[in-house]
Amino acid sequence: MHLSQTTSSLPQGEIEMLVVDNDYAHATISLFGGHILSFTPKHDGIQRLWLSKKAQLDAKHPIRGGIPICWPWFGPHNTQTNLSAHGYVRTQAWHVVNCVDNDDHTTICLKPSVTKGEGFDGKTQLTLIISIGRELGVKLVTENTGEQPFTYTGALHSYFHIEDISDCTVTGLSGQYEDKLQAYKRLPTPMPYAFNSETDRVHLVTPKELAIKSNGHVTHIHSVGHDSIVVWNPWAEKSRTMHDMEDNGYRKMLCVETSVTQGQTVLPGQQHVLEQVIR
Ligand SMILES: O=P(O)(O)OC[C@H]1O[C@H](O)[C@H](O)[C@@H](O)[C@@H]1O
């Protein structure tokens, strides 16, 4: 069967958007940030990603929701505190390298305009390969094109849409996590993993399969190439301090991030692939 699809490009606010509508799914991708904003598979019609109603689509600020690409560092820069959190590609224009129709999915390949920036010396090619079918595949390929090794951190910082945070659990995590809200204190992963307050945790484990259960629906997350999983929800009080978050938005979202927080070294001529598949 040939896939019937349309990929169109249209401006929304200040940003250029790709809209993919094929037999299997509908998705939108912002070229600002190489940022997937929505993904709804047609077999169940359930939106998997959350986008803040107050997200700034001005091609200047990071977009709150969807899948921000954090690279070449995750969180604050480890030595230069003046640099933006989560690196500089989420606030850059990306361009389409190609867009291919396969039998059961559409593949879109994007690259940022610049990979070198203050705070990172590596010589690299960075490629985001997005696959839209029954599942959403996101692959971030970091290639070392220089003559020196470099180390990067980063994340596929996915914001998942949930019905209600008070009826939401995560499965697949175990062992200890570092609590960013308690000076990285190590604590045991809660079982069951439910939410009743601000959460910002680095789980130092590498499960391939995770699931978010919310109001009878299960979103499956497959991860590759990560050294940790970050789980984040700002909860009510912090949300009120964030200009791009509706007061009750935190109830509808949970970030489960396929992450490299400990540092991934890439040798000359080698590449590292960080991947998340959502279904
Ligand atoms: O507000 P942002 O820069 O997009 O970061 C949002 C969040 O990202 C990650 O989940 C971090 O662990 C959090 O500490 C941070 O607050």
Distances, alpha carbon 89 to alpha carbons 14, 17, 62, 116, in Å? 17, 16, 10, 10
Domain count, the chain: 1
Q: Please say whether the beta carbons of 38 and 26 come within 8 A.
A: yes
**Where does the chain show beta strands of DSSP type E?**
5-12, 15-22, 25-30, 35-41, 69-70, 94-101, 106-112, 124-132, 136-144, 150-156, 159-161, 168-171, 176-179, 185-188, 199-203, 209-214, 217-224, 228-233, 253-266, 271-278
Query: Residue 1: which pLDDT band, with cuts at 50, 70 and 90?
Result: very low
For ligand 1, what atom is nearest to the CA of residue 257? 10
pTM of the model: 0.96
14-42: per-residue pLDDT in tens?
A: 789 999 999 999 999 999 999 999 999 99
Can you tell me the distance from the alpha carbon of 137 to that of 116, in angstroms, rounded to the nearest whole number?
26
ipTM (interface predicted TM): 0.98
Give the residue, by CA position, lying nearest to ligand 1 atom 12.
Answer: 200
Q: Judge whether residue 2 has pLDDT over 60.
A: no
pLDDT at 14: 79
pLDDT band at 170 (very low <50, low <70, confident <90, very high): very high
**Which residue bears the tokens 């949300």?**
239
CATH of the domain at 28: 2.70.98.10
Nearest to 153 by CA among 269, 258, 254: 258
Give the chain's length. 279
Q: Provide the β-strand partners of residue 132.
A: 106, 136
Spatial contact of 212 and 170, defined as CB atoms under 8 Å apart:
yes
Pocket test for ligand 1, best of 181, 182, 195, 200 (most atoms within 8 A of CB): 200
Amino acid type, 20: V
Mean pLDDT of the chain: 95
Rounded CA gap, 91 and 84, in Å? Answer: 10
Q: Is the pLDDT of residue 4 over 90?
A: no
Average pLDDT for residues 253-261, to the nearest whole number?
A: 98
Residue 208 pLDDT > 70, yes or no? yes
For 152, the domain range is 5-278
Distance 75 CA to ligand 1 centre (A): 7
Q: What is the pLDDT of residues 77-125, one digit of tens each?
A: 999 999 999 999 999 999 999 999 899 999 999 999 999 999 999 999 9
CB 56 within 8 A of CB 20: no
Question: Could you tell which of 70, 157, 177, 226 is best to mutate to test the pocket of ligand 1, judged by most ligand atoms within 8 Å of the CB?
Answer: 157
- CA 28 to chain CA centroid, nearest Å: 14
- Return the pLDDT at 143: 98
* Per-residue pLDDT tens digits for 218-236: 999 999 999 999 999 999 9
- What is the band of 10 on the pLDDT scale with cuts at 50, 70, 90? low
DSSP SS3 for 182: helix
Beta bridge mates, 127: 141
